[in-house]
Structure 1
């Protein structure tokens, strides 16, 4: 016995414009798409329920191809600083939330909104007796107070390869940590299985409410013992219908391989070895070939010396693994692409270029000759529009987030959010990809690099499933595929501009069963 879904605009995303009005589902799988009358006749006697979609639009459910799932779950339970314009008000809120002697953490501050970069002295003035950390929106920069520096064991003469410690005019530590310096913080904040289970559950519940039923994530280095983190995923996903694809950070890859922990589970699996080549535009640590326009003495940070970076790629190859690299600046892209050319991926597999934020024509041409996927975050473009012009200048900025050109290389183009760094809301990613405008609509960057809505939707549905070899059953709405989809009030193909941001999710369905419902649809 099955369910007949009728009176909808059900987009397969198998071909542009391909759409049916009805769909018959049995045991969580699509048996046939077509017209209501035809399906009623074909499955007479087997139809148990009929769901009237009332003209609403249906698409394959989303997969976020770049997220920090546990970090996102943690952020949902911490002080949210993303819209903060008053540092003292933020610190007072944090002070009230404090309990015990644990770290007090705020997520996602933006120094552009605050008007300045916070320092340890500013935090000390309000919270002198507890370790405090403010994580910048990019998560490549954080600020701790004096108690935080003490907990981390950071002193005046500390030097951190691949990172930087901020200093005041007298050369004293000012509490600002950049890139690899944050590794100390990750180890200190840590995590355990119990906390990670709670964070994963919290994150997945929130993702269902955004139409997201799968994610590519990288959690194994940041939240305590990686083997316990894997166990936390097993505990949650044994009874929650969500698919996770975990990248494996280069600092823990040896440990998990020694314990033979990377075997495929029913609802999660493992991918490439993850490494960082550079930092972020926001912290001016993305590695550029030319200096920053708004800080001509800065060209960014190499997280690894070139010889060490090469050794890491060789190590991945020795394990038979692909490589996934965080690459923002063009000089970072040059380094990583060169290594992929020197040490090719195993036939039939793809390496992963994460972000690929600044690419000129020459770099794109080299990418076109490589078996890679590009793990992009369209939302970054709209979030950071003004910052991009400041950091890169009016000419170089046209090479930022070249989505259409990325697709044209033949690389598999994936859409993601990098939550909690940016909002997980897929509507924002779609808006950014097809408009290339700021969320206020006041600025536009390189309109020739816009994606079509079909291309944008595929980057959040089918392409992430291709990347994890689960596309034979998910990512499209066609016969024999899982009935895993979202129902929306309006048709994304009919919406323009900010109307995309206002479309309303009605339902998320996984294998025929609703996991999120905003409305009760008539049956």
Structure 2
């Protein structure tokens, strides 16, 4: 007797090339896959009415900690300085209770031909203004913020590098924000200086992001960058029953951290309770920064800055030694690299670690891979390295202007090479990079299929478009493989965990543009319904049974194959 039978559907199993009509669930696991006619009896049946049922989405790079702050203003879709000023002015007028006026998701090209600066924000409020860019790598301040932070007197800040003009005066632009902000000193400084980074407001971001994940069909979330100092926020979400999707927590390794810090990472992972819903272990590294402010490491000069190629996070020999030690300690790494030189340095380091340590099957990942040289394309498959990429990032409505101009048209064919990597045998693992991009995986699927903006305009670099099956596989089976969970997740097979999503239609019969009008109707994690758009299951969404916990807010549970 099954607990639940999902029948009369189009079931994409990703078990070989398989399709089925029905899926049975018992005790949190998939216990039947096949035809409606042959299905065992079930305590409950749900008619899918031809809708697609797939493995649950594994979002392999989703910043739960970033989320959206309800006390900040979103600048998403604000493409002109006038738009930015209007939104901030309205927010400042509506919230006189806030000591700081904070905003998120600014685009670099909001001011044409130069970086935004403090002068662009004059006349809006006498309070300090703090704005993060959409990729979280830069901050934009007004004059009041510069004064409050002491930057005008030459003071440094632990969470970024203030840009100075030719006279040595701060412009109001701060680079290297995200890499600095997650260090112990950077986070402490942020929490002291900027109210938006208080622990309670950070926790609100996590819980709201987790709610959104379940509603989006995401059954496993990889939070790619958690400082050791904020691990308690993840345990709190777990203990308070907010973790409806499984969470893999990558621990942040600051640039320049020493061997003692790496031992602290090992201790944090080894002492973590075995848990079916919350796993620690991957380590987040940075090979370079980002292309938009010319801080990613490139093999050739930036097209619009002759003589400048950006910089790697560390000299190659130091980066190689650091990654090699982490590999020797048993860690899987998750390395940010956007420029083609940054990607090459990461691949070189992984190759050297495998050779020196004689390790195999770590499945180290390189995140973003925005610009990839021909010579390095086959190395992902050869080395077993996961390209953890975000389809939405290649949309022309995001990269037109600053990104395209910085890289130059001659190198556009190196951008986000999804199809080339897939055809080379690399194991793509797709993700949203929320909140840099929309969390909804249907947006990512649409972007992978079209390489067009959400307005349906012309495709950019269309030769790298994917078909739906390859893209959906990268969001499911590919993600499971990336995190050593291919026998449990990302597949509909008897014995796998019952992490599945029912979509609002059979996505395979739709045109790419129609994907944006669909949604996740039902999300099931470990056999528990955690999202039910139509209340068709008839009960309130719940926490998976394996998310039970006890004692001092520390989760407990069986550790079933979630490899460190």
TM-score after normalising by structure 1: 0.89
Cα 1:444–1:315 shift into 2, 3 Å: same
Is the 2:334–2:364 contact (alpha carbons within 8 Å) kept by the matching residues of 1? Answer: yes
Unaligned 5+ segments in structure 2 are: 192-196, 255-260, 539-564
Residues 47-58 of structure 1 aligned to structure 2 (within 5 Å): 47-58=42-53
Cα 1:76–1:430 shift into 2, 3 Å: farther
SS in 2 for 1:225: helix
Residues 112-127 of structure 1 aligned to structure 2 (within 5 Å): 112-113=109-110, 115=112, 117-127=115-125
Is the 1:385–1:443 contact (alpha carbons within 8 Å) kept by the matching residues of 2? Answer: no
Number of the residue aligned with 2:393: 380
Number of the residue aligned with 1:79: 73
Number of the residue aligned with 1:68: 63
Using the TM superposition, give the Cα deviation of residue 422 of structure 1 relative to its aligned residue in structure 2, in angstroms: 0.9
Bigger shift: 443-452 or 163-172? Answer: 163-172
Please state if 1:460 is matched with 2:475: yes
Of 309, 322, 327 in structure 2, the residue corresponding to residue 317 of structure 1 is 327
Unaligned 5+ segments in structure 1 are: none
1:141-197 residue CA offsets vs partner (Å, 9 max, x unmatched)? 111223433454535656799975323454411110112586256443345654444
Number of the residue aligned with 2:364: 351
Alpha-carbon separation, structure 2, partners of 1:101 and 1:239: 28
Number of the residue aligned with 1:326: 336
Cα 1:362–1:474 shift into 2, 3 Å: same
Number of the residue aligned with 1:240: 243
Bigger shift: 329-338 or 96-105? Answer: 96-105
Using the TM superposition, give the Cα deviation of residue 257 of structure 1 relative to its aligned residue in structure 2, in angstroms: 3.7
Is the 1:64–1:460 contact (alpha carbons within 8 Å) kept by the matching residues of 2? Answer: yes
Number of the residue aligned with 1:365: 378
Cα 1:220–1:389 shift into 2, 3 Å: closer
Number of the residue aligned with 1:401: 416
Bigger shift: 96-105 or 500-509? Answer: 96-105
Alpha-carbon separation, structure 2, partners of 1:473 and 1:318: 26
Using the TM superposition, give the Cα deviation of residue 315 of structure 1 relative to its aligned residue in structure 2, in angstroms: 3.7
Is the 2:250–2:283 contact (alpha carbons within 8 Å) kept by the matching residues of 1? Answer: yes
Of 240, 258, 267 in structure 1, the residue corresponding to residue 277 of structure 2 is 267
Alpha-carbon separation, structure 1, partners of 2:143 and 2:271: 39
Alpha-carbon separation, structure 2, partners of 1:181 and 1:107: 13
Cα 1:356–1:512 shift into 2, 3 Å: same
Number of the residue aligned with 2:221: 215
Please state if 1:199 is matched with 2:214: no
Cα 1:521–1:497 shift into 2, 3 Å: same
SS in 2 for 1:38: coil
CA RMSD of aligned residues (A): 2.9
Number of the residue aligned with 1:340: 350
Query: How many residue pairs get matched?
Result: 512
1:186-241 residue CA offsets vs partner (Å, 9 max, x unmatched)? 443345654444332211111111111211113422xx8234334334424x5633
Number of the residue aligned with 2:26: 26
Cα 1:187–1:343 shift into 2, 3 Å: same
Cα 1:403–1:210 shift into 2, 3 Å: same
Using the TM superposition, give the Cα deviation of residue 319 of structure 1 relative to its aligned residue in structure 2, in angstroms: 2.9
Alpha-carbon separation, structure 2, partners of 1:65 and 1:274: 12
1:377-425 residue CA offsets vs partner (Å, 9 max, x unmatched)? 1110114342443222222101111112222333321001111111111
Using the TM superposition, give the Cα deviation of residue 430 of structure 1 relative to its aligned residue in structure 2, in angstroms: 0.8
SS in 2 for 1:37: coil
1:48-83 residue CA offsets vs partner (Å, 9 max, x unmatched)? 2221222222111111101111112x4466321111
Number of the residue aligned with 2:35: 35
Cα 1:334–1:468 shift into 2, 3 Å: closer
Alpha-carbon separation, structure 2, partners of 1:395 and 1:162: 35
Number of the residue aligned with 1:419: 434
Number of the residue aligned with 1:449: 464
Please state if 1:496 is matched with 2:511: yes
Cα 1:209–1:69 shift into 2, 3 Å: same
Number of the residue aligned with 2:189: 188
Alpha-carbon separation, structure 1, partners of 2:338 and 2:165: 27
Bigger shift: 412-421 or 433-442? Answer: 433-442
Cα 1:341–1:25 shift into 2, 3 Å: closer
Alpha-carbon separation, structure 2, partners of 1:77 and 1:163: 22
Alpha-carbon separation, structure 2, partners of 1:361 and 1:178: 30
Alpha-carbon separation, structure 1, partners of 2:537 and 2:380: 49
Alpha-carbon separation, structure 2, partners of 1:104 and 1:182: 23
Cα 1:499–1:188 shift into 2, 3 Å: same
Is the 1:192–1:229 contact (alpha carbons within 8 Å) kept by the matching residues of 2? Answer: no
Using the TM superposition, give the Cα deviation of residue 348 of structure 1 relative to its aligned residue in structure 2, in angstroms: 2.5
